[in-house]
Structure 1
């Protein structure tokens, strides 16, 4: 609404408050108005200084208050809300009556109001029950929609998995017929050992993950990741980076995937905001012809990887000095052994929950909103230490 104050005209947003009328307080000026009007308030002089550009106007608070309080005992108000609601409600009733008339015949307004009153009474009772429950219990009840459930690979095997070419010493076997749930084993095993291994893998299919929805979480009572900030560090809010259309599509798919699995959630009031990046996945070297018809070796881009720049957060985080094993030490343990195996953990960090009070520090921004992690992502300086400590405890 445009409001004239002296010789100035301001665009003002009004907030309607449910409160008793008070002649002594005929108008409340909010912070957005003070910001728009470049307000300067001098309490001792009892002055309100407003301005636009280089022009200013000064109001005396006592004079302004006396004008409405002494000379007029009424409180200024806008009484059109009820009329607008009544008009809109009547219009909705007429529209609904036409639709219901074609289905069931004529429906009286009294019946509509009766049903509406019954619905409002039920809603009021539910709200009263929820308020009483909230007073007794420290946590608010959250209703879960059981009709919506993301299926795991065991319930609905994925059909879009891309099987990469393997060297001669490795091969694929499938835990579901005809060619679902692939795993990689050695191709040098005898037929008997291969059958035994496949039988064991089939009996423990729930331990494997073929997509993000299959990742199981480790209970927070056993292990969780904490982000302890240094005393002299303050939160940092960074602007989001520009992404081209291809990168935006990659980010959108990643965000939707993490939202569906509950790994991230929307957040709007975090003191930390981190930008998101897209890094190219480069494949092998291919010879390409350039503009001068010359053969030039080029490393092709096979896709994009979504990364979050947690460098500012890592600088403000107290470092965890848990000892990590060296690669040389790991190789020394294999010396003299004929057989060994290794497990490739699919997004292993996502198994570990983040401490509830630290989740807002993981907030990242992208063209589709700001989100925070429930589970530990890649990029934290202390993530390897937390993961190693958890694996050793298991």
Structure 2
């Protein structure tokens, strides 16, 4: 499959008389309802803009390990520690993080039949934007072309900005909710006086470190005039994504500190 050829074909079709009446009633069986996207914004998963996919190389010479209490030899040892764990680091730019250990994203819809929705029409003035978004996602190996029986449509969010997102409303309606204890901000504020040390950790593109199971890839598939795609890494917008990410953080920092997913903020007595 070729995204560029699909883009050219769709543009030609849109500019050809009769496109508006073209239908395909064989494959897609669910007709969209006329609702305002502002009525269920929480059901949408925004497509990230990775059109400028230009990750840089790790530069350990720029590592901030300077401290008046450390000798030059100690600073060099700290840099060596960073180099030892370079496989879990990414540089600046739109780089894809390495897969996380011990956690995957699965979607449990029990025995529900696949939900196939029709590709929504995208105004021609937004097709170039959609093409660039999808090209960036494919280049970053976040998505791939799909043959799934599931299909959620790409829609444009209401507003002046061009915000393209996936409407997962129907998928989320049949997804079993994962039971996992999420930390409360109130608990964090209450505990502030009991801690001596605080550490802020930034997990770059944290959701994308989580691989999708084969079943989750198929269920999360989305469709648009440029093709049918599925996620290889966990996207935003799925029912259980926050709980799965919190579990990954819990596993990574287990026995070191009590962790909070909000802002990747960690604390330790």
TM-score exceeds 0.5 = yes
| Contact 2:54-2:94 at 8 Å conserved across structures | no
- Mapped to 1, the partners of 2:230 and 2:78 lie a distance apart of 38
2:262 counterpart of 1:381: no
Please name the residue that 1:55 is paired with.
Answer: none
The change in CA–CA distance for 1:342 and 1:243 in structure 2 (over 3 A counts) is farther
Query: How much does 1:238 deviate?
Result: 1.4
The change in CA–CA distance for 1:151 and 1:236 in structure 2 (over 3 A counts) is same
Please name the residue that 1:347 is paired with.
Answer: 205
| Contact 1:275-1:365 at 8 Å conserved across structures | yes
| Contact 2:96-2:208 at 8 Å conserved across structures | no
Query: How much does 1:275 deviate?
Result: 0.9
Residue 363 (structure 1) aligned to one of 221, 228, 242: 221
The change in CA–CA distance for 1:192 and 1:262 in structure 2 (over 3 A counts) is same
- Mapped to 2, the partners of 1:252 and 1:366 lie a distance apart of 10
Q: Identify the structure with bigger relative contact order (alpha carbons < 8 Å, sequence gap 6+).
A: 2
- Mapped to 1, the partners of 2:80 and 2:224 lie a distance apart of 40
| Contact 2:155-2:166 at 8 Å conserved across structures | yes
| Contact 1:278-1:305 at 8 Å conserved across structures | yes
2:113 counterpart of 1:234: yes
The change in CA–CA distance for 1:251 and 1:351 in structure 2 (over 3 A counts) is same
- Mapped to 2, the partners of 1:279 and 1:384 lie a distance apart of 22
Please name the residue that 2:11 is paired with.
Answer: none
- Mapped to 1, the partners of 2:246 and 2:212 lie a distance apart of 15
The change in CA–CA distance for 1:359 and 1:367 in structure 2 (over 3 A counts) is same
The count of aligned residue pairs is 194
Q: Which structure would you say has the larger Rg?
A: 1
- Mapped to 1, the partners of 2:127 and 2:201 lie a distance apart of 33
- Mapped to 2, the partners of 1:346 and 1:198 lie a distance apart of 25
For residues 130-176 of structure 1, the C-alpha deviation after alignment (integer angstroms, 9 at most, x for no partner) is xxxxxxxxxxxxxxxxxxxx985216x8xxxxxxxxxxxxxxxxx66
Over the aligned positions, Cα root-mean-square deviation in angstroms equals 3.7
- DSSP 3-state at the match of 1:349: helix
- What are structure 1's unaligned runs of at least 5 residues? 1-34, 36-149, 158-174, 178-182, 282-300
Please name the residue that 2:56 is paired with.
Answer: 153
- Mapped to 1, the partners of 2:137 and 2:107 lie a distance apart of 21
The change in CA–CA distance for 1:343 and 1:278 in structure 2 (over 3 A counts) is farther
Query: How much does 1:227 deviate?
Result: 1.1
